[in-house]
Amino acid sequence: MKRIHYILPGIVAFILSAALLIVYHFWVKKSPRTFKIEHVNSTPAGKAVFTLDNNGDVIPLDFTRVAENVMDAVVHVKSTSTSRNRGNAEAMPDLFRDFFRDNPDLFRRFDDGGKPMPQVGTGSGVIIEPDGYIVTNNHVIADADDIEVTLYDNRSYKATVVGTDPTTDLALIRIKESDLPALPFVNSDQVKVGEWVMAVGNPFNLTSTVTAGIVSAKGRNINILREQYSVESFIQTDAAINPGNSGGALVNLDGGLIGINTAIASNTGSYAGYGFAVPANIVSKVVEDLMKYGVVQRGVLGVMIRTVDGNLAKEKDLPLTRGAYVDSLLENSAAAAAGIKSGDIIIAVNGAEVISSPNLQELIARHRPGDKVEVKVNRKGTERTFDVTLNNRRGNTDLVKKEHLDVLSMLGADFENLDEKTTKKLGIDGGVKVKSLYAGKLRRNTQMQEGFIITKVDGKSIRSVDDLAKALQGRKGGVMLEGVYENLPGTQYYAFGM
């Protein structure tokens, strides 16, 4: 009986297993497989990410709303310039054209027959006024013969240049249209490290691209602007910025413009972790000047400065490890006139803390010649405050005239009237001395050295900077500069094309 009790359940289990195998083989295995697909309308994680607003209130971290609000105001900018392969004899002064024409073989080797070589560059821009004003980078439209702007809705327009400022790498252009979407400026001083931001632009000709990240640092100087008196106090971000993003918008989560994307830190030319934007407070000052004066009016303290750090504090026995150390004072220095001395540490301007040299440059760059600023310094452990009336680069408080600045900036030099003592020493009637050279036509196209004294332009006597500007204003083609050096014999000549 016992044996039957164990065998019977085994027989039943065997029969059931066999039945299941038969059902699987003839029904399940031969039937088509089916999959159940569920459509999820929203991801739970999308509503689980939060951040804080300026009031400290918890709000959802939603990039889609910001993107929708800002993309309409960011444009694609295409600039076209025309260069020549080797040279164009028609752009030379008569003296040189005659020389080449007397040497036909040399003339043919020099002149390319005027064959144009178009060069196309692309970037981004931000609409800041509904009536067509757009801010971009100077390097996006520099030397352009033609500028084309394409809006987010694919409408295209030709743009004209209102003004440029190479010292901040900003430019203002305009298209003939109205009722355009525009981004509002925000106070970039209130931007905090760690704050969420979005970069909007057109990298690699991929229109309307949005990336997100945080503010990594403020007041960065990366020595990318080669212009004299350049101002670098960038907002650093890890939002991806690539070639083509230049001139685009860096915005906060309210859609406010906190900076204009300008540069990247990279060994390859592509994004490698960090991008840099010109702060909105600098952008708004430059734009206001370009609209009102046609040129940027830049106030200066007239000091040579260094960022205070631990090493400098140890070297100079300074009481601080932050601020801008005054190394020396320039001629006609506004700071010196107010009482600031070499060795002082500038720690605040109009109540805003100064933590580095780039930071000080940014704060002063927001002002014009003639503006008064309150400068606080630490002098050997004692804080003192001075009221400084800012000068222009020439050492006075006059506003710069647009017609002079445009043509002289094109040359890439700073000029000053020759003093009477030097005039008598050289036995000349007058002239204009080249104080310094930077990026421009003179450095690029001639072998001129600093200290050259211009006495004539195309044979016409020059006795002042005003004379020089008037002689070059509106000129096209070749220009011949004639002059002397104080310590070199004979007359020197330099020719270039306008």
Catalytic-role residue among 188, 246, 333, 357: 246
Fold of 402-497: Pdz3 Domain (2.30.42)
Separation CA 87–CA 143 (nearest Å)? 17
**How do strand 324-329 and strand 345-349 relate by DSSP bridges?**
antiparallel
Catalytic-role residue among 169, 289, 414, 467: 169
Domain 61-88+114-296: CATH architecture, name and number where available: Beta Barrel (2.40)
Separation CA 197–CA 324 (nearest Å)? 29
Separation CA 292–CA 323 (nearest Å)? 33
- Helix (H, G, I), strand (E, B), or coil: what is residue 411? helix
- Helix (H, G, I), strand (E, B), or coil: what is residue 409? helix
DSSP characters for 173-191?
A: EE-S--S---PPB--GGG-
pLDDT at 46: 46
Q: Which two tokens stand for residue 353?
A: 């803390």
pLDDT at 331: 85
- Residue 305 φ/ψ, nearest 5 degrees: -130, 160
Catalytic-role residue among 76, 111, 124, 139: 139
**Fold match, 61-88+114-296 / 402-497:** no
Cα atoms in the Cβ-side hemisphere of radius 13 Å centred on 91? 16
pLDDT at 438: 63
Superfamily of domain 303-389: PDZ domain (2.30.42.10)
- Cβ atoms < 10 Å from Cβ of 254: 13
What pLDDT tens digit does each residue of the chain (498 aa) get? 444 455 666 665 666 666 666 655 555 455 555 545 554 454 444 444 677 666 777 777 788 989 999 999 999 999 987 654 444 444 444 544 444 444 455 444 444 454 556 788 899 999 999 999 999 999 998 878 789 999 999 999 999 888 888 889 999 999 999 999 999 999 999 999 999 999 999 988 788 899 999 999 999 988 888 776 788 899 999 999 998 999 999 999 999 999 999 988 887 777 778 899 999 999 999 999 998 888 889 999 999 999 999 999 999 999 999 999 999 998 889 999 999 999 999 999 999 999 999 999 999 999 999 999 999 999 999 999 999 999 988 788 888 766 566 677 678 777 888 888 888 888 898 899 988 776 578 877 888 988 999 999 999 998 888 889 888 887 778 899 999 999 888 899 999 887
Catalytic residue list contains 169: yes
pLDDT at 109: 45
Which residue from 274, 225, 286, 218 is spatially nearest to 245, judged by alpha carbons? 274
Q: Where are the domains of the chain?
A: 61-88+114-296, 303-389, 402-497
Where do the H-state alpha helices sit in 44-129?
Answer: 63-70, 94-101, 104-110
The answer to whether the CB of 477 falls within 8 A of the CB of 497 is yes
Catalytic residue list contains 105: no
Catalytic residue list contains 246: yes
Q: Which two tokens stand for residue 204?
A: 């690699």
